[in-house]
Amino acid sequence: MSRVLATYNIKGGVGKTSAAVNLAYLAARDGARTLLWDLDPQGASTYLLRVQPRVRGGARGLLRKRGDPSGEIKGSDHPGLDLLPADFSYRHMDLALDRFKRPTLRLARVLEPLRDQYDYILLDCPPSISLVSESVFEAADALLVPVVPATLSARTLEQLCSVLAGGGPRLLAFFSIVDLRRPLHRDAMARLRAQHPRGMLGAAIPCSDDVERMGAERDVVASFAPSSSAAFAYKALWCDLLRRLEGP
């Protein structure tokens, strides 16, 4: 049975998609059968993996499928890494979910036949608090939450903790787009680690040109810049995540 991990944040522009694609690549490189589902209608993960953002029947058709959605899954250029692509109709996924009697369980139902086929399923989620995000909370075993060490991004982490206070997936946050030359970032990281000693992962993703180059290269950092600080940071994040998933 696979683990379902969702890269999620209420706020956009925090490195969520970059983390999803790089972590999925590292899982596959380690030999794990890995699926990335791009739930964001913008389709950034789909673009980075060089796949057309199209699903037959759109969001409604995918959610209505009673069988295995494997027919919509595409291979990537990286062995062991498959993609369930984005589709622009995902922008209406809230409305499509709302047609079901138990809408928040629908994404989990779509994933159910895939959980025996993959070791890891990663969900790249759109930034929002919505019926889609509530469905992700039901489907995921853990939320991977990138946090820029600045006031507004830290505030969204507190909001998310409040949303999940009544129960939900395990929340594992990590710092993203970090510039250690800035006292504001260093102070914010120290404060948040003190406030969330069990919820913050140790690894941090730097503010890096190589991460921004992903769009131009349409590839993961470990592939086109394997010796970069960003590549080492994503590897450290993946190792840290595995330790947490195996631990208490």
Domain residue ranges of the chain, discontinuous segments joined by +: 3-246
Q: Residues 142-166: what's their mean pLDDT?
A: 90
Residue 109: both structure tokens together:
């139902």
Q: What span, in angstroms and rounded, lies between the C-alpha atoms of 203 and 215?
A: 23
- Give the HSE-up count for residue 81: Cα atoms under 13 Å, Cβ half-sphere: 27
Looking at residue 226, its amino acid is P
Judge contact between 192 and 198, C-beta under 8 A.
no
At 48 the pLDDT is 98
Task: Grade residue 112 by pLDDT with cuts at 50, 70 and 90.
Answer: very high
Q: Which backbone phi and psi does 70 adopt, to 5 degrees? A: -60, -25
At 166 the pLDDT is 79
At 66 the pLDDT is 63
At 67 the pLDDT is 64
Residue 248, Cβ density class (10 Å: 0-12 exposed, 13-18 middle, ≥19 buried):
exposed
Average pLDDT, the chain: 93
Judge contact between 87 and 59, C-beta under 8 A.
yes
Q: Residues 126-154: what's their mean pLDDT?
A: 93
> What would the pLDDT profile of 39-87 be if each residue is shown by its tens digit?
999 999 999 999 999 999 899 989 986 667 889 999 999 999 999 999 9
Q: CB under 8 Å to 129, separation ≥6 — which residues? A: 10, 159, 163
Beta strands 170-178; 200-206: pairing state: parallel
User: How far from the centroid of its chain's Cα atoms is residue 230's Cα?
Assistant: 17
Q: Closest Cα to residue 62, out of 4, 110, 94, 114? A: 110
Task: Grade residue 90 by pLDDT with cuts at 50, 70 and 90.
Answer: very high
> What would the pLDDT profile of 190-241 be if each residue is shown by its tens digit?
999 999 988 899 999 999 999 999 999 999 999 999 999 999 999 999 999 9
Q: Where would I find the beta strands (DSSP E) of 8-79?
A: 34-38, 74-75
CATH number for the region 3-246 comes to: 3.40.50.300
Share of the chain above pLDDT 90, in %: 81
Strand order of the sheet with strand 34-38?
A: 74-75, 81-84, 34-38, 120-124, 3-7, 142-147, 170-178, 200-206
Q: What span, in angstroms and rounded, lies between the C-alpha atoms of 153 and 14?
A: 8
